[in-house]
Every structure is written in structure tokens, then in C-alpha cells.
Amino acid sequence: MSIFIEQDTRVLIQGITGSEGSFWTEHILGIGTNVVAGVTPGKEGQKVENVNVYNTVRKAVAETQADASVLFVPPRFAKDAVFEALDAGIKKIVVIAEGIPVHDAMQMRRAALSEGAMVVGGNTSGVITPGVAMMGIFPYWIERVYKQGNIGIMTRSGSLTNEVTAMVISEGFGVSSLMGIGGDSVPCTRFAEFLPLYEKDPETKALVMIGELGGTMEEEVAEAMEAGIFTKPLVSFIGGRTAPEGKKMGHAGAIVTGGKGTVAGKVKALEKAGALVADRPSVTGKLLKELING
């Protein structure tokens, strides 16, 4: 068992013939993921890493029963690709693209919600269950980060994930499932919406949340903990404690305006709900140990 992606999940790769798509298809296959088809309009009949390419998701699903899709398409086409996957009945979608217009992202999230689907991203490294499968772009060959184990990781950041996760691993833990929710201001699925999956996953004993200044996603997790929706131990690191107000540090998610979305507020809410919050990445693993061992 894992969350989101299983060994038998039938994965489709949209944009498979592009340079990113074909490069990562090799690695996605490499970890053991069950890739059943690829889609690139106009390239039907080709093969990438021995995976059949179709013109449309509809046809790929009809012929291969794909039930999950990871998208390697440019940001301006992400919305169309997500709609295409949803329309074909796919309920698990990962959107890697960085730079999706926020009005597009709103439509993507809204469409996913109304279809009862889970779209992860955009601007994410995706999803990985080390040793099992991945829909994303993780360097799972880096052993000091992608070691199998019982700690769930969910994160708003690509770059910081390796940093923090390495600290968790260095304390002797491993990772059950890692969900990159993406760094955009409107992620299609929000932190709190993954909690029920982690809660019921027997492989996950505790959860690490890598948060960031801006927005209200960390506060929503605190609320879910208070409401008893998530009851496992949770340790969080939240970047941007000292970030100057009103400055965007690289992406839209990481901005504080008018006192909303401050790290201080997030820390307070999480600690009140029973989580521990690391003030530096390096102590995350130690806090986790502390919390698990009581």
C-alpha cells in the first residue's frame, strides 16, 4: 500500500515525446512504475522507451485503461491537458509545469473538484513512493533522500524537499509517500486535502510537512488536526520566517501581504494543534524522533 500511486496504477504520460517527457519517462519506468501509454497529438504510432504513443488521451485510455496521468506539457497547455485527462475519466493527475497562469490554475482546480479527481501541482516535482513508483521528476537515485520507510512527506517546494528530507533520513527514517503539492499560489490540491490519504495509509506512521510563508494551507492542516481528520504525529518546517514583506522569492506562493500567511501565524496554529515545528531544516529529523518516541 501507498498513497496516490500503487504498483499497479496504470500510468499515462502526456507530452511523452518532448525532451522533458522522454527523459523522465526513462526514470519513471526505471523505478518500476507501470507506464501503459503516452500521448502526444500527431505522434500516434511512435514509441518512447517502448511505450506506445497515442494522439489523444481518450484513445489511450480506451486502449490501455490508463487510470493516472503525469503531464510533461508547457505551462500554457497545462490546462488543456488536464481537461483532456479529466474528460477521459482519469482521476489522478500530476502537473509538473512551472509557470501556469493563475486563472488557468483556478479552472484546473475547479474542474478537478467537480469531477471528484485529484490533480497534483502545477509547479511540482510530483509524487513518489520510493521503491515502488513515481509520477514526477525525483532523483530517486540519491540515497540520502529517497530511502523507503514510514514517514510521509508533503511539500510546497521542490528544492527544499531534498534539503529537509535528507535531514529526516539522516536520523534513520525513510519515506513512505512524498507528495509535492507544488509551489504556485493556486495549487490544484491543497495540503489538507491529502491528509485523509496519509491518515489511512498503513505505511505512513508520521508526516513531515514542508511549508512556506504565504497563503493559508498550513493553517488548514492545523484545522484538520484539531478536527481529528488527521491524528498521526506531524512535524513541519516552514520557510520564510524572515522574508521581507511583499517580496516574491521566486514564485507566487511565497509572498506575504498584510500580515496574512505569516510563518509566525502558521507556527502558532500548528503547535496549538499538536504538531512540532522546526525552526531550521536541520532539526526536522530530531523533532520527528522526539515526537514519535513521545
Residues within window 201-240 making contact with another protein, judged by CB under 8 A:
210, 212-213, 215-216, 220, 237, 239-240
User: For another protein, which residue of 81, 95, 169, 221 counts as binding (CB under 8 A)?
Assistant: 81
User: For another protein, which residue of 30, 32, 99, 196 counts as binding (CB under 8 A)?
Assistant: 99
CA distance 101 to 91: 22
Nearer to another protein, 1 or 106 (CB): 106
Provide the minimum distance between the beta carbon of 155 and another protein in the complex, in angstroms, as a whole number: 8
Task: Give strand ranges (E) for 145-245.
Answer: 148-155, 175-180, 206-212, 234-239
User: For another protein, which residue of 34, 46, 52, 107 counts as binding (CB under 8 A)?
Assistant: 107
Site for another protein in 181-200 (CB under 8 A): 183, 185-187, 190
Q: Judge residue 264's burial from the number of C-beta atoms within 10 Å of its C-beta, 0-12 exposed, 13-18 middle, 19 or more buried.
A: exposed
Core vs surface per residue 123-139: b (16+ CB within 10 A) or e: bbbbbbbbbbbbbbbbe
Known active-site residue 27: no
Q: Tell me, what DSSP letter sits at residue 109? A: H
User: For another protein, which residue of 8, 50, 116, 257 counts as binding (CB under 8 A)?
Assistant: 257
Task: Give strand ranges (E) for the chain.
Answer: 11-14, 35-39, 47-48, 51-54, 68-71, 92-95, 118-121, 126-129, 133-136, 148-155, 175-180, 206-212, 234-239, 276-278
Task: Give one word for 48, left, alpha or beta, with left for phi > 0 and alpha for psi -120 to 50.
Answer: beta
- 251, 253, 254, 255: which is the annotated catalytic residue? 251
Identity of residue 113 = L
Provide the minimum distance between the beta carbon of 275 and another protein in the complex, in angstroms, as a whole number: 18
Provide the minimum distance between the beta carbon of 233 and another protein in the complex, in angstroms, as a whole number: 22
User: For another protein, which residue of 1, 159, 200, 271 counts as binding (CB under 8 A)?
Assistant: 159
Provide the minimum distance between the beta carbon of 56 and another protein in the complex, in angstroms, as a whole number: 5
Point out which span in 134-142, 201-209, 223-231, 285-293 binds another protein (CB under 8 A): 134-142
Site for another protein in 20-79 (CB under 8 A): 20, 41, 44, 55-59, 75-77
